[in-house]
Amino acid sequence: MEQTLVLIKPDGVRRNLVGEVIARIERKSYRVVALKMMHADLETLGKHYAEHLGKPFYEPLLEFMMSGPIVAMVVEGHRVIEGFRKIAGTTDPTTAELGTIRGDLGADQGTRVVQNLVHGSDSPESAAREIAIFFPN
């Protein structure tokens, strides 16, 4: 069974959307097999976003992700990586399709980095790497 890392970012937690995001995942028949709420530290986020080091949005992204608690989940199911990314919608909440998490619940807040509620791994390799960062045991 394929697994993916899903993060509910600080804006989603702050807006009390944790239950809504999990409900959408479960309605798609995926299973949450690990879940925790946490304050992500600089070391964890540095590993997670290492590919973006040096890009202009890197520092604002880390600041945003440390601005409040996040919910980290391992979600399991057949083709779950592709499926969750479809549920999440495109990264820009302004243009994300209605019916997706970002399209229904997100809005561009005009901040230094787009606050788009959720993260989902983009490949099996990324999923394995990201799950190991947030769930090392």
**H or E segment at 38?**
strand 31-38
Domains and CATH numbers, the chain: 2-134 (3.30.70.141)
pLDDT digit string (tens) for 63-94? Answer: 999 999 999 999 999 999 999 999 999 999 99
**Is beta strand 31-38 parallel, antiparallel or unpaired with respect to 118-120?**
unpaired
Contacts of 127 (CB under 8 A, 6+ apart): 2, 3, 4, 5, 81, 121
Rounded Cα–Cα distance for residues 103 and 90 (Å):
8
CB 99 within 8 A of CB 59: no
In whole angstroms, give the CA distance from residue 28 to residue 17. Answer: 17
Cβ(28)–Cβ(120) below 8 Å: no
Closest among 9, 12, 134 to 74, alpha carbons compared:
134
What 3-state DSSP class applies to 71? strand
pLDDT at 107: 86
Catalytically active residues, by annotation: 119
Whether pLDDT at 108 is above 90: no
- Model confidence at 122, pLDDT cuts 50, 70, 90, reads very high
| pLDDT computed for residue 100 by the predictor | 97
| Confidence (pLDDT) at 110 | 83
Percentage of residues in the chain having pLDDT higher than 70: 100
18-64 pLDDT, tens digit per residue, is: 999 999 999 999 999 999 999 999 999 999 999 999 999 999 999 99
- Say if CB 77 and CB 30 are below 8 A apart: yes
